[in-house]
Structure 1
Amino acid sequence: MSIISTEQLGHSFNDKWLFKELHFGLQKGDRVALVGINGTGKSTLLKLLAELFPPQQGKIVKEKGIRIGYLPQDPDFTGLNTINDFIFSNDNEQQQLIKEYEEIVDKEIIDEKKLADIMDRMTALDAWEYENDIKTILNRLSISNFDQKIDSLSGGQKKRLSLAKLLIDEADVYILDEPTNHLDIETIEWLEKLLTTGQKTVLVVSHDRYFLDNICTEIRELDKGKLFSYKGNYGYFLEKKAEREYSDILSAEKARNLLRTELEWMRRQPKARGTKSKSRIDSFYELEEKSKGPRSQDKVQLSVKVSRQGNKILELENISKSFKNKTVINDFSYVFKKGDRIGLTGKNGTGKSTFLNLITLALPQDNGVISVGETTKYGYYKQGGLEFSEGERVLDVVKNIADYIQMANGDTLTASQLLTLFLFPPEKQFGLVTKLSGGERKRLQLMRVLMANPNFLILDEPSNDLDIDTLNVLEDFLLNFPGILILVSHDRYLIDKLTDQLFIFDGTGTVSIYNGNYADFKFEQEEKLKEEKLAEKKLKANPINKTIETTKKKLSFKEVKEYEDLEVGIAKLETDIANKTIELNNTIDHATLSNISKEVEMLQKELDKKSERWLELAEFI
């Protein structure tokens, strides 16, 4: 039984129906990916299911009392001042207690009586584990300063804040629109585990194929107002979609053959047609529509001329950059070579965007030399998005760069022809840029970058808001791109497919060079971690037996006996501390809480003393 579903749902945008009589349902535990090209209505469908506005046709049906958690592409914080105001809901008693507790412990002078009262109330409401979960989520998403003004946050910080709130509130249904945007790879992997733990119900729009494969058990494609469902992961969806499209082509070919016969019949009919032929006339128009089949222009076509590249491309010699005493890049050198395909990786805020601004000379370095070759022509796709004036048309945005563009095969296209190749039909070309969807604006931005015929291409998070079909075409283009490629992306699939070298930013200023893609790097890191854990395990297992054996040779009988007694005593103290800690967590009475805390403190002191003596004896092994 569906916990949320639609009945004959229909909605239009800019006088165009996105879908009509759409049936869509989610059952408890479903993890569904919604895919489709930009502009088909994916984000609109998510907003309708989250009941942000009513549909123009049909209705949304929900199970009584169900809580919907919605993550938009661009969060709105109107009416909110600080992070604190947003994170802790006024109508959630547990959250308000946690907020009070955090405010008290952050003060220089703590009101012990008030603290004790809050602690008692938190224990009564079982809020301690919840507080720990909240802290884990906020730390993972790099949110620490609760007093920070929301207006001062970047777009990426706002998206992470919105995601944190969604996860803290523990909804029954998670509706997520591009949740991996602005997250680093480690955080995405953590989010994958979180969403697949328990029987969570998830509906997600995402371009990240690894994320979809790891999260979803079903793919639903929204295509020309119709919904197609595929049980399985994204790889299975691609296979079945290809089969469906091939079937559609065959059906369209059959329809075209039949249409020729019906067209002759239509031409022979008198203008005043009788009622007897009405059904056949209706069938003719249905057949005409069916004969059109899948349209080839529904695929972006990337093919632009690449400027000639000389021997000297870009040389970096001992470059450094700091901000407010924090070193972002320290003494880094590299000489770019023809065919370089480099991925930049590292957590958010470690200096990747700063590095790009340095090499494109948009930002001066503090030390070192940056030397750009005379023939090097940058194409920089920035994360910030498309810049345009209010009231500007789509065609104007392109003509501001050039009226004519030379393609790889030597053909020269007009701005309008190029827009058509990028899936902007004439009606959209003369429309306002403000009416484009987020993904369509990104596609237009990509087109403007490629129009300059660059030979040094820099893509900073190109997959954000682009549909997967466009990404597939972009991948094919980049695989054959003869110039230099620098790619910043949290999309592990994209990094793996397009790069063969990594610049790894650790946040301390060190930039390490790794030969291989992200999958190679991740595998090596995991193998190294396994080896470290194995070595640690052996160290814990072997020294005890080995020590006793060798101690007997070097220590007196009395010292050996003391050594053995210490081991037994240490184990008992550790067990006592663990039991007291459990008792502490289950105690409500404040006086008892204080007594147990003192006992734990005394036991810990005794443990430290015995452990220190044990280490002294162990040195003689």
Structure 2
Amino acid sequence: METPSALLSVEQISKSYGTLVLFSDLSFGINQGQKMALIAKNGSGKTSLLNIIAGFDEPDSGQVVKRKDLKLGYLSQEPQLDQSLTVEESIFAAENPTLKAIDAYNKALKNPDNAEAMQKTFDKMEALQAWDFETDYKQILSKLKLDNLDQKISDLSGGQRKRLALANLILNQPDLLILDEPTNHLDLEMIEWLEDYLKSSSLTLFMVTHDRYFLDRVCNHIIELDQQQLYPYKGNYAYYVEHRANRMETEATNLAKAKQLYKSELEWMRRQPKARTTKSKSRIENFQDIKDRATNCRKDHKVNLEINMERLGSKVIELHKISKAYDDKVLFQNFDYVFKRGERIGIIGKNGTGKSTFLNILTGKNNPDSGKVVIGETIKIGYYTQSGIKPKPQQKVIDVIREYGDYIPLKKGRKISAQQLLEQFLFDRKKQYDFVEKLSGGEKKRLYLCTVLIQNPNFLILDEPTNDLDIITLNVLEQFLLDYPGCLIVVSHDRYFMDKIVDHLFVFGDKKITDFPGNYSDYRAIKQLEQNEKYAQSNEKTSTPAEVTLKASTTSKLSYQEQKEYKRLESDIKKLEREKEQLEAKFLNDLSPEEIKENSIKLQDISDKIDQKTEKWFEISMKIDA
């Protein structure tokens, strides 16, 4: 078996900023073909490590050894691009012979009278087999929504610049591609395309990302930086989660044993033995090591706040036929919805379909063009926006929280101090007295989230809360939200987060908002089935009856009875959804208490039937892809 070729070796590197030690004596290697990810808490030096590997920073000690002539590409969180170039000029500015040949050929086409130059560029294209590559680069730009090739980089948004930098790196075909949060600023469709592209490519990757589905489906090797120690896992994210849990269990067992040993040794030390034998001296010398192991407690925390949230009344928020457009672009029309207590809704849709506009209408920042928003008297909205926290100059972390009071009220008359609250959100006492401008991007997001939550909202709106948060913090946030008793709306490109938190989706697109009864994975499964059906129908038009029968038997894998039941369930679910909508509309009228009770019972019965039939539908649909 051929030994994998080493591209890069990190040898005992360390990095500190003043008294803050990010990491010390780190060593690992990256081999050709590996798709490796780094997992660590915010503030532990992930971006610093990437910068050192990419050559943009130097370690305090140790070295990074690279293979001779290694071609390395680096996607930073804030890529630097030449503002004077257009999108197309930026693509062709890369040091890539194939791209240079394509650029020369395109220029020659504009001057067809120069036959010699035309032939020369044609021969170059042939020699480099550049024809397919030209198609590939246009497809990549299209997938990343960079269709206007003449647009100046100075006119691009931050997200567009990040996508252009990503396209440049992919097209430049480096030996090693380093990615810092590559899924930020990508919508779900782009993320899934990038996922498939990187998974099937021969590129060697080293990345930092909070997208756990992306990690699971792309990476085959994970290293975790935990309390300045590096732990390797030869597998994807699911493998990492399982084996990390085993490591935590082993550590907990060893810690319990160390504490017991420390207790007995401490008693012995307190007796202060007078006879200093060689054996007793050795035992005294080992005591400090035992103490260090026994007191090396993990600093993992769980957010466990029973915030004194104001009780939700019977009326939450009602949307009556709201519409919004900008000039000729219609975002959505005549959308009706009555929010219910405890609902957990995810919002998805391509960029520019009106998601943020919808949230601004919901919170009163914008008005709909038509229709109205009715908010219940007991509703207190907490709105976490993408703009983030705006601290005052030289403001400390603790002072940001104290603006809301020194103490935060909890249930049953209890309260916690601002310091204790910050500790719940993973800010230790030392960190609380840091200036806010010194915090990492993820730490600022965590502090901002804390300021929203401590205001005790009972209707919580989170617009991209997962951007810049590390995986450890995401797990903490998810646990908090799973226990949150109020209404919740989440806009996120993090599919793993959405699947875990929400019950149903508002899908934006095609000038409307569609209420989908399931999480993101359910939605993707149904969209895939629809695509498969369209593909099958288009093929059937040009197929013989025998070919159609063969396709049906190999793709559906369903018995005749199952096929009948599958179609019947689809029809039943659509019918029940229509009945549910009609019944919900009745609640907008003035009803007597008896009518409200009767309709509520009917609505619950219909909802139960939809759940039962949908569950059966999913059971049968799983056989199609089996």
Q: TM-score, normalised by structure 1?
A: 0.81
Out of 321, 327, 331, the residue aligned to residue 328 of structure 1 is: 331
- Give me the identity figure in percent: 46
Residue 46 (str. 1) matches residue 50 (str. 2): yes
Does the Cα contact within 8 Å between 1:302 and 1:473 map onto a contact in 2? no
The aligned amino acid for 1:392 is Q
Match of 1:244 in 2: 247
Instruction: Tell me the distance in 1 between the aligned counterparts of 2:304 and 2:91.
Output: 44
Aligned partner of 2:113 in structure 1 is 113
Match of 2:184 in 1: 181
Does structure 1 retain, via aligned residues, the 8 Å contact 2:316–2:339? Answer: yes
Shift of 1:14: 4.2
Q: Are residues 432 and 149 of structure 1, via their aligned partners in 2, closer, same or farther at CA, if it must alter by over 3 Å? A: farther
Task: Find the counterpart in structure 1 of residue 27 from structure 2.
Answer: 23
Aligned to 1:338: 341
Q: Which residue of 2 aligns with 1:426?
A: 429
1:156-214 Cα offsets, whole Å, 9 max, x none, are: 22322222222121111121121111212221111111111243211222222211111
Map 1:92-131; keep pairs closer than 5 Å.
92-99=96-103, 111-113=111-113, 116=118, 121-131=124-134
- The AA in structure 2 aligned to 1:130 is F
With over 3 angstroms needed to count, the CA separation of the structure-2 counterparts of 1:97 and 1:291, relative to structure 1, is same
For the residues of structure 2 that align with 1:189 and 1:482, how far apart are their CA atoms? 32
CA deviation after TM superposition for structure 1 residue 389, in Å:
2.8
Instruction: Tell me what 1:75 maps to.
Output: 79
- Note the alpha carbon deviations across 1:217-270, whole angstroms, 9 max, x for none: 222111011011122222222222122112212212222222234334545669
CA contact (8 A) 2:82 2:153 kept: no
Distance 1:160 1:198 in 2: 18
- Note the C-alpha offset of 1:306: 2.1
Question: Aligned partners of 1:78 and 1:541: how far apart in 2?
Answer: 52
Q: What is the aligned partner in structure 2 of residue 457 from structure 1?
A: 460
Q: 1:277-316 to 2 correspondence within 5 Å?
A: 280-316=283-319
Q: Retained in 1: the 8 A contact 2:84–2:154?
A: no
Choose the corresponding residue for 1:162, options 154, 162, 165: 165
**AA matched with 1:178:** E
Tell me the distance in 2 between the aligned counterparts of 1:146 and 1:247: 55
Match of 1:475 in 2: 478
Contact residue 338 and residue 484 of structure 1 kept, 8 A: yes
Q: What's the CA shift string for 1:448-471, capped at 9, x where partnerless? A: 111111111111111111122221
My pick for the range that moved more, 523-532 or 406-415, is 406-415
- Residue matched to 1:401: 404
1:402 and 1:415 in contact (8 A); partners too: yes
Contact 2:382 2:457 (8 Å CA) reproduced: yes
Indicate the SS of the match to 2:286.
helix
**Which one is further off, 221-230 or 142-151?**
142-151
More moved, 409-418 vs 167-176: 409-418
Compared with structure 1, are the counterparts of its residues 264 and 389 closer, same or farther at alpha carbon in structure 2 (3 Å cutoff)?
same
Compared with structure 1, are the counterparts of its residues 545 and 393 closer, same or farther at alpha carbon in structure 2 (3 Å cutoff)?
closer
Moved more, 493-502 or 80-89: 80-89
Equivalent position of 2:526 in the other structure? 524
For residues 122-141 of structure 1, the aligned pairs below 5 Å read: 122-141=125-144
What CA deviation, in whole Å up to 9, does each residue of 1:88-147 have, x standing for no partner? 325444434545666788xxxx54336946556544543332222211111111112234
Stretch deviating more after TM superposition (457-466 or 406-415): 406-415
Q: Secondary structure at the match of 1:113?
A: coil
Equivalences for 1:210-221 in 2 at 5 Å? 210-221=213-224
Q: Give the letter for the 2:49 counterpart.
A: L
Q: Specify the code of the residue in structure 1 equivalent to 2:383.
A: Y
Q: Measure the CA separation in 2 of the matches of 1:520 and 1:120.
A: 50
| 1:36 and 2:14 aligned | no
* Conservation of the 8 A alpha-carbon contact between 2:425 and 2:450: yes
For structure 2, list consecutive stretches of 5 or more residues without a partner in the other structure: 549-626
Secondary structure class of the residue paired with 1:505 = strand
Pair 411,60 (structure 1): closer, same or farther in 2 beyond 3 Å = same
Whether contact under 8 Å (1:300, 1:470) holds in the other structure is no
Partner of 1:60: 64
**Superposition deviation, residue 60 in structure 1:** 0.2
- Partners in 1 of 2:425 and 2:216 — Cα distance? 28
1:379 to 373, 377, 382: 382
Correspondence for 2:9 among 5, 10, 16: 5
Cα 1:371–1:99, aligned 2, differ >3 Å: closer, same or farther? farther
User: Residue 449 and residue 122 in structure 1: after superposition, are their counterparts in 2 closer, same or farther (change >3 A)?
Assistant: same
1:197 aligns with 2:177: no
* Worse-matched range after superposition: 204-213 or 154-163: 154-163
How far off its partner does 1:68 sit? 1.6
Provide the residue aligned with 2:588 in structure 1: none
Largest Rg, 1 or 2: 1
- Residue 543 of structure 2 aligns to which amino acid in structure 1? A
TM-score relative to the length of structure 2: 0.80
Matched AA of 1:73 = Q
C-alpha separation in 2, matches of 1:340 and 1:480:
13
One-letter amino acid matched to 2:66: K
1:555-582, Cα deviation, whole Å (9 max, x unpaired) = xxxxxxxxxxxxxxxxxxxxxxxxxxxx
For 2:17 and 2:262, locate their aligned partners in 1 and report how far apart those are by CA, in whole Å. 32
- Aligned-partner residue type, residue 235 of structure 1: A
The alignment covers a number of residue pairs equal to 540
1:415–1:149: structure 2 CA closer, same or farther, 3 Å change rule? farther
Per-residue deviation, 1:485: 1.1
Alignment counterpart, residue 490 of structure 2, candidates 487, 491, 495: 487
- In structure 1, C-alpha distance between the alignment counterparts of 2:459 and 2:106, rounded to whole Å: 49
Q: Among 223, 237, 242, which residue is 1:234 paired with?
A: 237
Q: Structure 1 residues 54, 285: closer, same or farther in 2, change over 3 A?
A: same
Deviation at 1:318, TM superposition (A): 1.8
Query: In 2 relative to 1, CA 257–396 (structure 1 residues): closer, same or farther, beyond 3 Å?
Result: same
Instruction: Quote the residue 1:542 is aligned against.
Output: 544
CA distance in 2, matches of 1:251, 1:360: 51
- For 2:426 and 2:277, locate their aligned partners in 1 and report how far apart those are by CA, in whole Å: 42
1:323-379 Cα offsets, whole Å, 9 max, x none, are 232112222221211122111111122111111111111122222212222221111
Q: Would you say the 8 A contact 1:245–1:294 is kept in 2?
A: no
Contact 2:10 2:27 in 1 (8 A): yes
Q: What is the alpha-carbon distance in structure 2 between the residues aligned to residue 533 and residue 85 of structure 1?
A: 37
Distance 2:333 2:138 in 1: 32
CA-CA distance at 1:300 after TM superposition: 4.5
Instruction: Call closer, same or farther: CA 1:486–1:132 in 2, change over 3 Å.
Output: same
Q: Give the distance between the partners of 2:372 and 2:138, measured in 1 at CA.
A: 43
CA distance in 1, matches of 2:473, 2:408: 20
